[in-house]
């Protein structure tokens, strides 16, 4: 990882007098720290600063791998801009963008565009969506392509990547929707001049393509000298036996060169194209189609693991292929969790369904990856109950119990603060099986009967059928 500046280096360049409270901060040092963590932008600075000092700050905070933006509005997509080779060195800031490619001759094009635009699923409290659409010029007809591009741009607010080896078609399409800031695919050794001119005139990002590293570096440097400000590198994607290794090696070399060595020659994000597998193999039946889709998914997962800033895939443009996107998005979500912090949720007492006076009260921790799945399991089982979320300093059940962050005192405090038993006519608390060792201590400290539930929340419904005996539990509680 290239050495990061310290907040103090930035703080020294900030104005001595500024209304930090106007942006919700207390001091200039807090602004400097937030700037490094990308929680604020330099344009948010609530005070005057000389152009010279502003440029010095920009030079300090600019990441070794430059960020590239395309699209406009709330769904504008930022790729690259990373500082860490491995997320545990720091964290990753911009998750791999997932882009689905469709052709201008597809009879179901607009239906697919609508589906991709509206696509959204919620997993562990986070909304997962697509980042863009790649519109390919399959027709090789500039007029048809431009007409289709305009129609798609008027229909979706997702960022667009325009993709064609027909330079005339690509330039005309780019000019027609330049206000949408599409990304152009792709500049090569044959068309760099025409595409570079279009990109400069319209301030558009460009993908540079070549399977030769020296050649692609030459293309990027030439375009940069022309005035192109944002570029993405595509070294080609081959997913065949033995080929994927070379594809992944090239990706890592670029990331290693830019982030560890700070090389100015390889400072741009890298694009992977698992969709390329469809150009090599045409399925003859559904079994072969699924086999290609599966190989495409594996290729996408591997490229995401090896630092692709964006991926172009073919599968996933229709509802029947949602399994493909779920696999990629779940994997991406796990990779881009910030390892420096425990993902927490607020503690409290949460109502599930329509609980009555004898409804059970389940306990869990405030680790995000524990609380949300437990809550979802309770809802999926259509249970009427309460969920008591205890502050475990953001640790899961097993780790919290082992480390002492989840203990009887914490449970007793939660029971008291959130008045857990006021909404029911019993004093029974169901704790996870992984917290069984706390049973006696919780009963003493929280003055309740503790029932030990299943090890995993997916077994709660089955446990309730045999294990939930409120009258028997309350008799034992009163007889103590």
Span 339-366, pLDDT tens digits:
766 678 899 999 999 999 999 999 999 9
- At 408 the pLDDT is 96
* pLDDT mean over 292-306: 93
At a CB cut-off of 8 Å and minimum separation 6, what does 62 contact?
none
- At 138 the pLDDT is 97
What confidence tens digit (pLDDT) does each residue in 213-263 have? Answer: 899 999 999 999 999 999 999 999 988 777 888 888 888 888 878 877 777
- At 480 the pLDDT is 82
Short-list 357, 340, 347, 436, CA closest to 393: 347
pLDDT class for 1, splitting at 50, 70, 90?
low
Q: At the topology level of CATH, where does 67-335 sit?
A: TIM Barrel (3.20.20)
Structure tokens at 58: 């920009």
pLDDT class for 265, splitting at 50, 70, 90?
confident
In contact, 244 and 235? CB cutoff 8 Å: no
* pLDDT mean over 91-108: 94
What confidence tens digit (pLDDT) does each residue in 29-72 have? Answer: 999 988 988 889 999 999 889 999 999 998 888 888 899 999 99
- Supply the CATH classification number for the domain 348-479: 3.40.50.11600
* pLDDT mean over 139-145: 96
Structure tokens at 294: 């599966």
Residue with tokens 């330039």: 171
**At residue 91, what are phi and psi to the nearest 5 degrees?**
-175, 170
* pLDDT mean over 85-107: 88
Residues 459, 462, 466, 472, CA torsion sign: positive
Round to whole Å and give the CA distance between 182 and 156.
12
Q: Is 128 helix (H, G, I), strand (E, B) or coil?
A: strand
* pLDDT mean over 128-140: 97
What confidence tens digit (pLDDT) does each residue in 372-420 have? Answer: 999 999 999 999 999 999 999 989 999 999 999 999 999 999 999 999 9
Residue 324: enclosing H or E segment and its boundaries? helix 322-335
Whole-number average pLDDT of the chain: 92
Its pTM stands at 0.81
Domain ranges of the chain: 7-61, 67-335, 348-479
In contact, 81 and 36? CB cutoff 8 Å: no
How many whole angstroms from its chain centre is CA 77?
A: 11
Q: What is the dihedral of CA 208, 327, 76, 2, to 10 degrees?
A: -60
Give whole-number Cα distances, 52 to 49, 55, 58, 60, 298, in Å.
Answer: 8, 5, 10, 13, 48
């Amino acid at each position: 990882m290239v050495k990061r500046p310290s907040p103090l280096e930035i703080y020294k360049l900030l104005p001595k007098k500024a209304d930090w409270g106007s942006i919700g901060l207390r001091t200039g040092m807090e602004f400097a720290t937030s700037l490094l963590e990308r929680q604020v932008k330099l344009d948010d600075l609530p005070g005057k600063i000389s152009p010279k000092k502003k440029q010095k700050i920009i030079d300090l905070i600019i990441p070794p791998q430059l960020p590239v933006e395309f699209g406009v509005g709330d769904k504008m997509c930022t790729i690259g801009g990373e500082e860490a080779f491995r997320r545990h060195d720091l964290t990753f800031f911009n998750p791999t963008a997932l882009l689905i490619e469709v052709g201008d001759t597809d009879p179901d094009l607009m239906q697919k565009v609508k589906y991709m635009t509206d696509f959204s699923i919620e997993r562990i409290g986070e909304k997962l969506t697509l980042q863009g659409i790649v519109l390919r010029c399959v027709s090789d007809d500039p007029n048809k392509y431009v007409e289709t591009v305009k129609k798609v741009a008027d229909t979706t607010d997702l960022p667009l990547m325009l993709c064609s080896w027909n330079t005339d078609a690509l330039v005309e399409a780019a000019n027609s929707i330049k206000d949408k800031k599409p990304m152009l695919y792709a500049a090569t050794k044959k068309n760099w001049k025409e595409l570079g001119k279009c990109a400069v005139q319209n301030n558009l990002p460009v993908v540079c393509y070549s399977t030769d590293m020296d050649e692609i570096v030459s293309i990027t440097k030439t375009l940069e000298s022309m005035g192109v400000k944002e570029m993405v590198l595509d070294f080609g994607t081959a997913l065949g036996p033995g080929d994927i290794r070379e594809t992944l090696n090239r990706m890592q070399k670029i990331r290693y060169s830019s982030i560890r060595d700070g090389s100015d020659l390889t400072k741009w994000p890298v694009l992977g194209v698992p969709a390329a597998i469809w150009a090599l193999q045409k399925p003859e039946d559904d079994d072969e189609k699924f086999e290609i889709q599966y190989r495409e998914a594996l290729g996408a997962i591997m490229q995401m693991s090896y630092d692709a800033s964006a991926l172009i895939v073919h599968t996933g443009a229709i509802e029947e292929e949602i399994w493909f996107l779920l696999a990629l998005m779940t994997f991406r979500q796990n990779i881009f969790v910030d390892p420096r912090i425990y993902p927490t949720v607020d503690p409290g007492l949460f109502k599930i369904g329509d609980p009555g006076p004898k409804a059970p009260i389940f306990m869990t921790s405030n680790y995000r990856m524990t609380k949300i799945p437990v809550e979802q399991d309770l809802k999926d089982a259509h249970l009427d109950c309460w969920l008591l979320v205890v502050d475990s300093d953001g640790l899961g059940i097993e780790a919290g119990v082992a480390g002492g962050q989840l203990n009887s005192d914490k449970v007793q405090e939660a029971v008291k603060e959130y008045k857990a038993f006021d909404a029911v006519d019993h004093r029974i608390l169901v704790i996870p099986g992984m917290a069984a060792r706390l049973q006696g201590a919780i009963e003493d400290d929280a003055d309740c009967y503790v029932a030990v539930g299943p090890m995993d929340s997916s077994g709660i419904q089955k446990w309730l059928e045999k294990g939930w005996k409120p009258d028997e539990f309350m008799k034992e509680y009163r007889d103590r």
